[in-house]
Amino acid sequence: MRQSKLFTKTRKESPADEVSKNAEFLIRGGFVHKEMAGVYSYLPLGLRVLNKIENIIREEMNKAGGQEILMSTFQPKDNWEKTGRWTGMDDLYKVSDSSGREVALGPTHEEIVVPILKNYVTSYKDLPVAVYQIQNKFRMELRAKSGMLRGREFIMKDMYSFHTSQEDFEKFYEKMKEVYKTVFNRAGIGHLTYLTFASGGTFSKYSHEFQTITAAGEDTIYLDETSGVALNKEVLNDEVLAQLHLEREKLVEHKSIEVGNIFDLKTKYSKPFDLSFTDEKGEKNIVLMGCYGIGLGRLMGTVVEALSDDKGIIWPEAIAPFQIHLLSLGEDVAVLKEADTVYESLLKAGVEVLFDDRTGLSAGEKFSDADLLGMPLRAVVSARSIKDLPSGGIEIKKRTEEKGKIVTLDELLKIFKK
């Protein structure tokens, strides 16, 4: 895409009402637009990142056997009264229409997915099954000061699994731990993300969170660096340490953000709706459930928090809006012509390229935009780079490198050949 045609522009000044680094960079770069605290719209660059994250998650959920659905945002009050959460959930948005009818704006979808499954699950032969969606959620978060990390409207992947036995559930749950690791590895934060034991609430001993280490995190974890096992601060006590074979002295404290979590729901939501099946002996049993969440916007914000430097974002290749940022410097006709050739060749080779073809900007302005926007590779065509054409032509530099090198167009294209 030609940057001269991109309707968004970068901004030098930080938004006055944002304190978080992720929101600052994402707004300054024109990835997102803030509507109100905790509510953001995705603009072309941000949407490209979101789509890539979404595709990684979708691929991995499909591989795990998940069937994609898309559930409604409006949720009947009756369903929420059945589970006790109409009054029991503090952050539930309730809206009413002119007839006075009240509905919930979905903050999660157990109250919808269970009644759906009830229509189709009757026998043990219908199980196990796992369904998921990628959809906007609404929560009345009290503190929405962390940019994309804590939205009042935010995009979540939520999967729900249904089983005939605890054993079958546990098999799936263990598989999902690996699936989640793959998702975070592919998104470029695997090396900073740890499976973390957290308190499971009333219905199971532990839940598991996937916590990414970053100074901006709202959680605190204790990490055993040798085993890679982490504990959420709120579960840290001698009994838990003994159960997990961890020694308090060896644990290192980190600030972190929960990018995903997995839960054993047992019959908490299947029971109120009497979601049941008949087993081999013809006896009726309540279905066992698990749920598995990942916040997509939060993941994007986490990447920005964890991987940026003081100049801007450093996107991992797999989720960068474009693979390469091509810059033409100056108004020299030969430079513009060569840059155009490079752009067209990259496009032809199927490379996703953002081409800063804007005129009237200094080299410094273009470089600082490239640093802010954070494409993994920068390619510059300038009077200097084309001076010894046909052998030279393009100066390339990774976002993480200080110094670039001159390459030919063929050499550049080779980088993107699989």
**CA-wise closest residue to 309 among 179, 398, 176, 200:** 398
With binding defined as CB under 6 A, does residue 29 bind ligand ATP?
no
Quick one: which of 48, 85, 298, 378 contacts ligand ATP (CB under 6 A)? 298
Residues 59-118 binding ligand ATP (CB under 6 A) are 108
Here the tokens at position 412 are 């550049």
Report CA-CA distances (Å) from 206 to 168, 289, 404.
18, 15, 49
Antiparallel, parallel or unpaired: β 288-295 and 153-163: antiparallel
- Is residue 141 a contact residue for ligand ATP (CB under 6 A)? yes
Q: Which residue in 151, 217, 272, 393 binds ligand ATP (CB under 6 A)?
A: 151
- C-beta of 57 vs 377, nearer to ligand ATP: 57
Nearer to ligand ATP, 170 or 219 (CB): 219
CA-based nearest residue to 332, from 395, 387, 375: 387
Distances (CA, A) of 146 to 49, 127, 140, 217: 19, 40, 14, 9
Residues 240-259 that bind ligand ATP (CB under 6 A): 258-259
Q: In this chain, which stretch among 2-10, 147-155, 166-174, 336-344 interacts with ligand ATP, using CB under 6 A?
A: 147-155
Residue 40 or residue 86: which is nearer to ligand ATP going by CB? 40
* Sole binder of ligand ATP in the list 92, 221, 294, 372 (CB under 6 A): 294
Q: Mask: binding to ligand ATP, 316-355, rule CB under 6 A, as x and -?
A: ----------------------------------------
- In whole angstroms, give the CA distance from residue 48 to residue 30: 12
Residue 190: strand pairing partners: none
CB of 151 to ligand ATP, least distance (A): 4
Distance CA 52, CA 321 (A): 8
Count of other CB atoms within 10 angstroms of residue 281: 7
Q: Nearest approach, Cβ of 5 to ligand ATP (angstroms)?
A: 31
Figure out which of the listed residues 79, 164, 261, 385 binds ligand ATP, where binding follows CB under 6 A.
261
Site residue total, ligand ATP (CB under 6 A):
16
Query: CA angle at residue 233 from 156 to 267, to 5 degrees?
Result: 50
Q: Would you count residue 217 as binding ligand ATP (CB under 6 A)?
A: no
Minimum separation from the CB atom of position 322 to ligand ATP (A): 25
Nearer to ligand ATP, 139 or 399 (CB): 139
Backbone region of residue 203 per phi and psi (left: phi > 0; alpha: psi in -120 to 50; beta: other values): alpha
Q: With the CA atoms of 83, 86, 91 and 92 taken in that order, what torsion angle do they form, in degrees rounded to the nearest 10?
A: 110
Where along the sequence are the contacts to ligand ATP (CB under 6 A)?
A: 108, 139, 141, 150-151, 154, 156, 258-261, 293-295, 297-298
